[in-house]
Homo-oligomer: A and B are copies of this chain.
Amino acid sequence: MIDRNDCEALDHSTDRTGDSLAGFSARFASGPPGTLYLDANSVGPMPLAAPEHVGRALDQGWRVARRRGWNETDWLDQPAALGASLSRVLGAGAGDVLVADSTTINQHKLLHHALGLNSPRNVVVVERDVFPSNRYAAQAAVALRSARLRDIANAGELGQALAAGDVAVVALSLVDYRSSARLDLVGLTRLIHAHGALALWDLSHAAGAVAVALERAGADFAVGCGYKYLCGGPGAPAWLYIHPRHAKSAVWPALAGWMGHADTFAFDPGYRPAEGVLRHQSGTPAVIANAAMSAAADIWRDVDPHILDARHRSLTDLLIRLVDEQCADLGVTVASPREHAKRGGHVTLRFGEVRGDGDAGALAQALVDAGVVVSSRKPDALRLAPHPLTARHVELWDAVARLRALLLSGQWRDPRYRRASV
Protein backbone atom coordinates (compact mmCIF):
# COMPACT_ATOMS: atom_id res chain seq x y z
CA MET A 1 0.00 0.00 0.00
CA ILE A 2 1.29 3.45 -0.92
CA ASP A 3 1.03 6.04 1.83
CA ARG A 4 1.21 9.80 1.77
CA ASN A 5 4.91 9.81 2.62
CA ASP A 6 5.65 7.70 -0.43
CA CYS A 7 3.91 10.32 -2.57
CA GLU A 8 5.93 13.11 -0.96
CA ALA A 9 9.05 11.09 -1.61
CA LEU A 10 8.10 10.78 -5.27
CA ASP A 11 7.79 14.56 -5.47
CA HIS A 12 11.16 15.10 -3.79
CA SER A 13 12.80 12.57 -6.05
CA THR A 14 11.44 14.16 -9.25
CA ASP A 15 12.40 17.58 -7.87
CA ARG A 16 15.98 16.43 -7.52
CA THR A 17 16.56 14.80 -10.91
CA GLY A 18 18.53 17.03 -13.22
CA ASP A 19 16.10 16.59 -16.10
CA SER A 20 12.99 17.17 -14.05
CA LEU A 21 10.24 19.65 -14.75
CA ALA A 22 10.33 20.84 -11.15
CA GLY A 23 11.17 24.40 -12.13
CA PHE A 24 8.11 24.64 -14.32
CA SER A 25 5.45 24.65 -11.62
CA ALA A 26 6.91 27.94 -10.40
CA ARG A 27 5.98 29.44 -13.77
CA PHE A 28 2.28 28.93 -13.07
CA ALA A 29 -0.05 30.78 -10.71
CA SER A 30 -1.47 28.86 -7.76
CA GLY A 31 -5.11 28.64 -6.83
CA PRO A 32 -6.33 29.07 -3.25
CA PRO A 33 -4.51 26.86 -0.71
CA GLY A 34 -6.19 23.50 -0.26
CA THR A 35 -7.92 23.40 -3.63
CA LEU A 36 -6.73 20.51 -5.78
CA TYR A 37 -7.09 21.03 -9.53
CA LEU A 38 -7.56 17.85 -11.51
CA ASP A 39 -9.29 19.59 -14.41
CA ALA A 40 -6.51 20.22 -16.94
CA ASN A 41 -8.67 18.37 -19.47
CA SER A 42 -11.06 21.31 -19.29
CA VAL A 43 -9.10 24.45 -18.33
CA GLY A 44 -5.35 24.19 -17.77
CA PRO A 45 -3.54 26.26 -15.12
CA MET A 46 -2.67 29.92 -15.70
CA PRO A 47 0.96 30.81 -16.39
CA LEU A 48 2.19 33.39 -13.91
CA ALA A 49 3.10 35.73 -16.77
CA ALA A 50 -0.34 35.69 -18.40
CA PRO A 51 -1.80 38.72 -16.56
CA GLU A 52 1.33 40.71 -17.43
CA HIS A 53 1.15 39.73 -21.12
CA VAL A 54 -2.53 40.57 -21.28
CA GLY A 55 -2.04 43.75 -19.28
CA ARG A 56 0.58 44.91 -21.76
CA ALA A 57 -1.74 44.21 -24.71
CA LEU A 58 -4.45 46.23 -23.00
CA ASP A 59 -2.40 49.15 -21.75
CA GLN A 60 0.51 49.60 -24.15
CA GLY A 61 -1.47 48.07 -27.01
CA TRP A 62 -5.12 48.98 -26.89
CA ARG A 63 -4.99 52.15 -24.75
CA VAL A 64 -1.80 53.72 -26.11
CA ALA A 65 -0.79 52.21 -29.46
CA ARG A 66 -4.37 51.81 -30.79
CA ARG A 67 -4.17 51.20 -34.54
CA ARG A 68 -0.36 51.50 -34.45
CA GLY A 69 -0.42 48.08 -32.81
CA TRP A 70 -0.97 46.50 -36.24
CA ASN A 71 2.30 48.00 -37.49
CA GLU A 72 4.48 48.43 -34.48
CA THR A 73 3.83 45.34 -32.35
CA ASP A 74 3.57 41.58 -32.84
CA TRP A 75 -0.22 41.52 -33.26
CA LEU A 76 -0.21 40.24 -36.83
CA ASP A 77 2.64 37.79 -36.24
CA GLN A 78 1.01 36.06 -33.26
CA PRO A 79 -0.85 33.23 -35.05
CA ALA A 80 2.33 31.88 -36.67
CA ALA A 81 4.60 32.72 -33.72
CA LEU A 82 2.33 30.98 -31.23
CA GLY A 83 2.11 28.01 -33.57
CA ALA A 84 5.90 27.83 -33.74
CA SER A 85 6.09 27.87 -29.95
CA LEU A 86 3.63 24.98 -29.65
CA SER A 87 5.31 22.94 -32.39
CA ARG A 88 7.82 21.26 -30.07
CA VAL A 89 5.23 19.68 -27.81
CA LEU A 90 3.23 18.62 -30.89
CA GLY A 91 6.20 17.03 -32.61
CA ALA A 92 5.70 19.33 -35.58
CA GLY A 93 7.82 21.63 -37.71
CA ALA A 94 7.90 25.21 -36.45
CA GLY A 95 6.22 26.51 -39.59
CA ASP A 96 3.51 23.88 -39.72
CA VAL A 97 1.33 24.97 -36.81
CA LEU A 98 -1.02 27.95 -36.70
CA VAL A 99 -2.94 29.31 -33.71
CA ALA A 100 -6.33 30.75 -34.71
CA ASP A 101 -10.08 30.44 -34.22
CA SER A 102 -11.69 27.56 -32.32
CA THR A 103 -11.13 23.81 -32.52
CA THR A 104 -14.49 23.38 -34.24
CA ILE A 105 -13.78 26.09 -36.83
CA ASN A 106 -10.39 24.47 -37.47
CA GLN A 107 -12.07 21.07 -37.91
CA HIS A 108 -14.20 22.64 -40.63
CA LYS A 109 -11.17 24.18 -42.31
CA LEU A 110 -9.24 20.93 -42.44
CA LEU A 111 -12.16 18.66 -43.36
CA HIS A 112 -12.74 20.84 -46.41
CA HIS A 113 -9.02 21.05 -47.09
CA ALA A 114 -8.76 17.26 -47.07
CA LEU A 115 -11.83 16.88 -49.28
CA GLY A 116 -10.35 19.36 -51.72
CA LEU A 117 -6.96 17.69 -51.72
CA ASN A 118 -8.29 14.16 -52.16
CA SER A 119 -11.01 14.88 -54.72
CA PRO A 120 -12.87 13.15 -56.37
CA ARG A 121 -13.06 10.89 -53.32
CA ASN A 122 -15.83 12.31 -51.22
CA VAL A 123 -16.41 10.13 -48.15
CA VAL A 124 -15.61 11.39 -44.64
CA VAL A 125 -15.23 8.72 -41.95
CA VAL A 126 -15.96 9.60 -38.33
CA GLU A 127 -16.65 7.69 -35.15
CA ARG A 128 -20.28 7.61 -34.06
CA ASP A 129 -19.38 8.50 -30.48
CA VAL A 130 -16.64 11.03 -31.09
CA PHE A 131 -16.90 14.39 -29.31
CA PRO A 132 -20.16 15.84 -30.68
CA SER A 133 -18.65 19.02 -32.11
CA ASN A 134 -16.33 16.99 -34.33
CA ARG A 135 -19.31 14.99 -35.57
CA TYR A 136 -21.39 18.10 -36.24
CA ALA A 137 -18.50 19.57 -38.21
CA ALA A 138 -18.29 16.47 -40.37
CA GLN A 139 -22.06 16.34 -40.84
CA ALA A 140 -22.18 19.99 -41.88
CA ALA A 141 -19.12 19.76 -44.13
CA VAL A 142 -20.48 16.86 -46.16
CA ALA A 143 -23.91 18.50 -46.37
CA LEU A 144 -22.34 21.66 -47.77
CA ARG A 145 -20.51 20.00 -50.64
CA SER A 146 -22.63 16.95 -51.38
CA ALA A 147 -20.02 14.62 -49.93
CA ARG A 148 -20.88 11.60 -47.79
CA LEU A 149 -20.43 10.62 -44.16
CA ARG A 150 -19.56 7.09 -43.09
CA ASP A 151 -19.91 6.27 -39.42
CA ILE A 152 -17.82 3.71 -37.64
CA ALA A 153 -18.49 2.42 -34.13
CA ASN A 154 -14.79 2.52 -33.31
CA ALA A 155 -11.37 2.46 -34.92
CA GLY A 156 -11.55 -1.32 -35.20
CA GLU A 157 -13.98 -0.87 -38.06
CA LEU A 158 -11.66 1.43 -39.93
CA GLY A 159 -10.19 -1.19 -42.29
CA GLN A 160 -13.65 -2.15 -43.42
CA ALA A 161 -14.74 1.47 -43.82
CA LEU A 162 -11.73 2.17 -46.02
CA ALA A 163 -12.02 -0.92 -48.18
CA ALA A 164 -14.11 0.58 -50.97
CA GLY A 165 -11.38 3.08 -51.80
CA ASP A 166 -13.75 6.06 -51.74
CA VAL A 167 -12.67 7.66 -48.47
CA ALA A 168 -11.17 11.13 -48.76
CA VAL A 169 -10.45 11.72 -45.09
CA VAL A 170 -10.74 9.95 -41.76
CA ALA A 171 -11.31 12.34 -38.84
CA LEU A 172 -10.38 10.76 -35.52
CA SER A 173 -9.89 11.96 -31.97
CA LEU A 174 -6.60 10.60 -30.71
CA VAL A 175 -7.99 10.41 -27.17
CA ASP A 176 -11.59 9.64 -26.23
CA TYR A 177 -13.04 12.54 -24.24
CA ARG A 178 -14.87 10.15 -21.90
CA SER A 179 -12.63 7.12 -21.31
CA SER A 180 -9.27 8.72 -22.20
CA ALA A 181 -8.53 5.71 -24.42
CA ARG A 182 -5.77 6.70 -26.84
CA LEU A 183 -5.67 5.41 -30.41
CA ASP A 184 -2.54 4.33 -32.26
CA LEU A 185 -1.53 7.51 -34.07
CA VAL A 186 1.21 5.88 -36.13
CA GLY A 187 -0.54 2.61 -37.00
CA LEU A 188 -3.92 4.10 -37.90
CA THR A 189 -2.34 6.86 -39.97
CA ARG A 190 -0.47 4.16 -41.87
CA LEU A 191 -3.69 2.19 -42.39
CA ILE A 192 -5.51 5.28 -43.61
CA HIS A 193 -2.72 6.12 -46.04
CA ALA A 194 -2.57 2.54 -47.29
CA HIS A 195 -6.12 3.03 -48.54
CA GLY A 196 -5.41 6.35 -50.20
CA ALA A 197 -7.21 8.43 -47.57
CA LEU A 198 -5.97 11.37 -45.51
CA ALA A 199 -5.80 11.46 -41.71
CA LEU A 200 -7.17 14.38 -39.65
CA TRP A 201 -6.46 13.99 -35.94
CA ASP A 202 -7.96 15.90 -33.03
CA LEU A 203 -5.37 16.03 -30.25
CA SER A 204 -7.38 18.08 -27.76
CA HIS A 205 -7.09 15.52 -24.95
CA ALA A 206 -3.45 14.64 -25.61
CA ALA A 207 -1.43 17.71 -26.59
CA GLY A 208 0.38 19.19 -23.61
CA ALA A 209 -0.21 16.08 -21.52
CA VAL A 210 1.58 13.24 -23.32
CA ALA A 211 4.20 13.08 -26.07
CA VAL A 212 2.79 13.18 -29.59
CA ALA A 213 4.88 13.25 -32.75
CA LEU A 214 2.70 14.51 -35.56
CA GLU A 215 5.30 14.80 -38.28
CA ARG A 216 6.95 11.46 -37.50
CA ALA A 217 3.54 9.78 -37.50
CA GLY A 218 2.89 11.23 -40.93
CA ALA A 219 -0.45 12.72 -39.90
CA ASP A 220 -1.78 14.90 -42.71
CA PHE A 221 -3.77 17.28 -40.56
CA ALA A 222 -4.38 17.90 -36.89
CA VAL A 223 -6.28 20.30 -34.68
CA GLY A 224 -6.48 20.80 -30.96
CA CYS A 225 -7.80 22.89 -28.15
CA GLY A 226 -5.72 25.76 -26.77
CA TYR A 227 -7.21 25.98 -23.30
CA LYS A 228 -6.89 22.47 -21.88
CA TYR A 229 -3.41 21.07 -21.22
CA LEU A 230 -1.88 23.80 -23.41
CA CYS A 231 -2.86 26.44 -20.84
CA GLY A 232 -3.88 29.21 -23.23
CA GLY A 233 -6.72 30.43 -21.01
CA PRO A 234 -10.47 29.69 -21.10
CA GLY A 235 -11.75 29.78 -24.67
CA ALA A 236 -8.22 30.35 -26.01
CA PRO A 237 -7.64 30.17 -29.76
CA ALA A 238 -7.10 26.62 -31.01
CA TRP A 239 -4.27 25.32 -33.20
CA LEU A 240 -4.14 23.51 -36.50
CA TYR A 241 -1.39 21.54 -38.22
CA ILE A 242 -0.69 20.60 -41.84
CA HIS A 243 2.06 18.16 -42.75
CA PRO A 244 4.81 19.82 -44.82
CA ARG A 245 4.08 17.45 -47.72
CA HIS A 246 0.86 19.44 -48.28
CA ALA A 247 2.36 22.91 -47.77
CA LYS A 248 2.61 23.75 -51.47
CA SER A 249 -0.84 22.49 -52.36
CA ALA A 250 -3.04 24.79 -54.41
CA VAL A 251 -6.18 23.92 -52.41
CA TRP A 252 -8.06 26.99 -51.28
CA PRO A 253 -9.04 27.28 -47.66
CA ALA A 254 -12.81 26.90 -47.31
CA LEU A 255 -12.84 29.90 -44.97
CA ALA A 256 -10.58 32.17 -47.04
CA GLY A 257 -9.90 35.62 -45.62
CA TRP A 258 -7.50 38.51 -45.97
CA MET A 259 -5.03 37.25 -43.36
CA GLY A 260 -4.54 33.99 -45.29
CA HIS A 261 -3.87 35.69 -48.62
CA ALA A 262 -0.37 35.25 -50.08
CA ASP A 263 0.05 39.05 -49.89
CA THR A 264 -2.52 40.46 -47.47
CA PHE A 265 -1.73 44.13 -47.87
CA ALA A 266 -1.65 44.09 -51.66
CA PHE A 267 -5.48 44.14 -51.37
CA ASP A 268 -5.68 41.92 -54.42
CA PRO A 269 -9.30 41.47 -55.56
CA GLY A 270 -8.52 37.82 -56.37
CA TYR A 271 -7.74 35.36 -53.62
CA ARG A 272 -4.37 33.58 -53.67
CA PRO A 273 -3.62 31.26 -50.74
CA ALA A 274 -0.55 31.76 -48.57
CA GLU A 275 1.69 28.73 -48.06
CA GLY A 276 0.83 25.79 -45.83
CA VAL A 277 -1.01 26.53 -42.60
CA LEU A 278 -0.80 30.29 -43.09
CA ARG A 279 -3.65 30.19 -45.60
CA HIS A 280 -5.93 29.09 -42.79
CA GLN A 281 -5.76 32.46 -41.11
CA SER A 282 -9.10 33.99 -41.99
CA GLY A 283 -9.89 37.19 -40.14
CA THR A 284 -7.90 39.51 -37.91
CA PRO A 285 -5.98 37.79 -35.09
CA ALA A 286 -7.56 37.72 -31.63
CA VAL A 287 -4.92 40.01 -30.12
CA ILE A 288 -5.93 39.92 -26.45
CA ALA A 289 -6.62 36.17 -26.41
CA ASN A 290 -3.32 35.60 -28.20
CA ALA A 291 -1.51 37.69 -25.59
CA ALA A 292 -2.90 35.40 -22.88
CA MET A 293 -1.78 32.34 -24.80
CA SER A 294 1.68 33.77 -25.42
CA ALA A 295 2.52 33.25 -21.74
CA ALA A 296 1.90 29.52 -22.16
CA ALA A 297 3.71 29.46 -25.50
CA ASP A 298 6.83 30.82 -23.81
CA ILE A 299 6.71 27.85 -21.44
CA TRP A 300 6.07 25.24 -24.13
CA ARG A 301 9.17 26.26 -26.04
CA ASP A 302 11.20 25.10 -23.01
CA VAL A 303 9.44 21.79 -22.33
CA ASP A 304 11.02 18.52 -23.48
CA PRO A 305 8.05 16.41 -24.61
CA HIS A 306 9.67 13.18 -23.40
CA ILE A 307 10.14 14.49 -19.88
CA LEU A 308 6.59 15.83 -19.96
CA ASP A 309 5.38 12.38 -20.97
CA ALA A 310 7.37 10.66 -18.21
CA ARG A 311 6.02 13.04 -15.60
CA HIS A 312 2.47 12.57 -16.83
CA ARG A 313 2.95 8.82 -16.65
CA SER A 314 4.36 8.99 -13.14
CA LEU A 315 1.38 11.07 -11.96
CA THR A 316 -1.42 9.16 -13.65
CA ASP A 317 0.02 5.70 -12.94
CA LEU A 318 0.10 6.73 -9.27
CA LEU A 319 -3.45 8.05 -9.47
CA ILE A 320 -4.69 4.74 -10.83
CA ARG A 321 -2.83 2.79 -8.16
CA LEU A 322 -4.22 5.00 -5.38
CA VAL A 323 -7.76 4.54 -6.66
CA ASP A 324 -7.24 0.77 -6.82
CA GLU A 325 -5.86 0.67 -3.30
CA GLN A 326 -8.20 3.12 -1.59
CA CYS A 327 -11.48 3.02 -3.49
CA ALA A 328 -11.88 -0.40 -5.12
CA ASP A 329 -13.75 -1.65 -2.04
CA LEU A 330 -16.25 1.17 -2.56
CA GLY A 331 -17.11 0.01 -6.08
CA VAL A 332 -14.81 2.39 -7.95
CA THR A 333 -13.26 1.10 -11.15
CA VAL A 334 -10.74 2.66 -13.48
CA ALA A 335 -12.39 3.03 -16.87
CA SER A 336 -9.28 4.28 -18.68
CA PRO A 337 -6.70 1.92 -20.15
CA ARG A 338 -4.08 0.97 -17.56
CA GLU A 339 -1.18 1.15 -20.00
CA HIS A 340 0.07 4.74 -20.20
CA ALA A 341 0.72 4.60 -23.96
CA LYS A 342 -2.96 3.80 -24.43
CA ARG A 343 -4.21 6.71 -22.30
CA GLY A 344 -4.56 10.43 -22.95
CA GLY A 345 -4.47 13.26 -20.47
CA HIS A 346 -7.13 12.28 -17.95
CA VAL A 347 -8.02 9.22 -15.91
CA THR A 348 -11.66 8.19 -15.96
CA LEU A 349 -13.34 6.49 -13.03
CA ARG A 350 -16.67 4.69 -12.83
CA PHE A 351 -18.65 3.65 -9.79
CA GLY A 352 -20.90 0.71 -9.07
CA GLU A 353 -23.37 3.09 -7.50
CA VAL A 354 -23.29 5.64 -10.29
CA ARG A 355 -25.71 4.53 -12.95
CA GLY A 356 -28.35 7.10 -13.77
CA ASP A 357 -27.93 10.22 -15.84
CA GLY A 358 -26.56 13.00 -13.67
CA ASP A 359 -25.03 10.77 -11.00
CA ALA A 360 -21.51 11.38 -12.25
CA GLY A 361 -22.27 15.09 -12.36
CA ALA A 362 -23.51 15.03 -8.76
CA LEU A 363 -20.43 13.18 -7.57
CA ALA A 364 -18.17 15.60 -9.48
CA GLN A 365 -19.97 18.55 -7.94
CA ALA A 366 -19.65 17.10 -4.45
CA LEU A 367 -15.94 16.57 -5.05
CA VAL A 368 -15.63 20.17 -6.24
CA ASP A 369 -17.28 21.29 -3.01
CA ALA A 370 -14.73 19.18 -1.16
CA GLY A 371 -11.96 21.12 -2.90
CA VAL A 372 -11.11 18.68 -5.69
CA VAL A 373 -11.88 20.29 -9.04
CA VAL A 374 -12.79 17.48 -11.46
CA SER A 375 -15.27 17.09 -14.30
CA SER A 376 -17.77 14.50 -15.46
CA ARG A 377 -19.37 13.34 -18.67
CA LYS A 378 -22.74 11.68 -18.93
CA PRO A 379 -23.72 9.09 -18.07
CA ASP A 380 -21.10 7.87 -15.63
CA ALA A 381 -17.59 9.15 -16.35
CA LEU A 382 -15.69 11.03 -13.63
CA ARG A 383 -12.58 12.60 -15.13
CA LEU A 384 -9.42 13.42 -13.16
CA ALA A 385 -6.73 15.30 -15.05
CA PRO A 386 -3.57 16.44 -13.25
CA HIS A 387 -1.45 18.84 -15.29
CA PRO A 388 2.04 17.38 -15.70
CA LEU A 389 3.74 20.77 -15.33
CA THR A 390 2.05 21.70 -12.05
CA ALA A 391 0.56 18.69 -10.24
CA ARG A 392 2.40 16.99 -7.38
CA HIS A 393 2.09 13.32 -6.48
CA VAL A 394 1.01 14.17 -2.95
CA GLU A 395 -1.96 16.14 -4.30
CA LEU A 396 -3.21 12.95 -5.92
CA TRP A 397 -3.01 11.19 -2.56
CA ASP A 398 -5.04 13.98 -0.99
CA ALA A 399 -7.59 13.97 -3.82
CA VAL A 400 -8.16 10.22 -3.62
CA ALA A 401 -8.46 10.45 0.18
CA ARG A 402 -11.18 13.09 -0.23
CA LEU A 403 -12.92 10.94 -2.83
CA ARG A 404 -12.91 7.98 -0.43
CA ALA A 405 -14.24 10.10 2.43
CA LEU A 406 -17.01 11.46 0.22
CA LEU A 407 -18.08 8.01 -0.94
CA LEU A 408 -18.03 6.70 2.62
CA SER A 409 -20.14 9.61 3.87
CA GLY A 410 -22.69 9.28 1.05
CA GLN A 411 -22.94 13.09 1.04
CA TRP A 412 -22.66 13.25 -2.74
CA ARG A 413 -26.20 11.82 -2.97
CA ASP A 414 -27.55 15.10 -1.55
CA PRO A 415 -30.04 16.52 -4.13
CA ARG A 416 -28.21 19.85 -4.29
CA TYR A 417 -25.38 18.17 -6.20
CA ARG A 418 -27.66 16.93 -8.95
CA ARG A 419 -26.93 19.62 -11.48
CA ALA A 420 -25.21 19.59 -14.82
CA SER A 421 -21.46 19.61 -15.00
CA VAL A 422 -19.32 20.55 -18.00
Residues of A within 8 A of B (CB): 29-32, 35, 37, 39, 42-43, 45-46, 50-51, 54-55, 57-59, 61-64, 66-71, 75-76, 101-105, 108, 112, 128-129, 131-133, 135-137, 139-140, 143-145, 225, 227, 233-238, 252-261, 265, 267-271, 282-290, 292, 368, 373, 375, 377-378, 419-422
Contacts and interface: CB of A to CB of B under 8 A. Distances in A.
A249 to B, nearest CB: 15
A39 B72 CA distance: 15
A267 B140 contact: no
A284 B420 contact: no
17 contacts: A31-B64, A35-B64, A39-B66, A43-B70, A46-B62, A46-B63, A50-B58, A62-B233, A67-B373, A132-B269, A136-B257, A137-B255, A144-B144, A144-B145, A236-B288, A237-B286, A288-B288
A258 B130 CA distance: 12
A290 B234 CA distance: 11
Contacts of A42: 66-67, 70
A8 B5 CA distance: 74
Contacts of A377: 267
Given A252-B140, A253-B140, A234 B422 contact: no
Contact of A288 (B71, B233, B271): B233
A243 to B, nearest CB: 22
B31 A140 contact: no
A132 B261 contact: yes
Contact of A233 (B51, B58, B102): B58
A234 B288 contact: yes
Given A62-B234, A236-B286, A288-B289, 15 more contacts: A31-B66, A35-B64, A42-B66, A43-B67, A43-B70, A46-B58, A50-B58, A67-B375, A105-B255, A108-B255, A132-B269, A133-B257, A135-B269, A140-B252, A286-B289
Nearest to A112: B144
B234 A57 contact: yes
B51 A252 contact: no
Given A46-B63, A63-B29, A137 B257 contact: yes
Contact of A282 (B105, B112, B256): B105
B103 A283 contact: yes
B378 A267 contact: yes
Nearest to A76: B422
B139 A256 contact: yes
Contacts of A253: 140
A225 to B, nearest CB: 8
A131 B337 CA distance: 52
Given A54-B54, A233-B287, A269 B105 contact: no
Given A139-B256, A254-B144, A283 B238 contact: yes
A153 to B, nearest CB: 11
Contacts of A254: 108, 140, 144
B69 A287 contact: no
A66 B54 contact: no
A327 B103 CA distance: 51
Contacts of A289: 235, 286, 288-289
A76 B421 CA distance: 13
B282 A32 contact: no
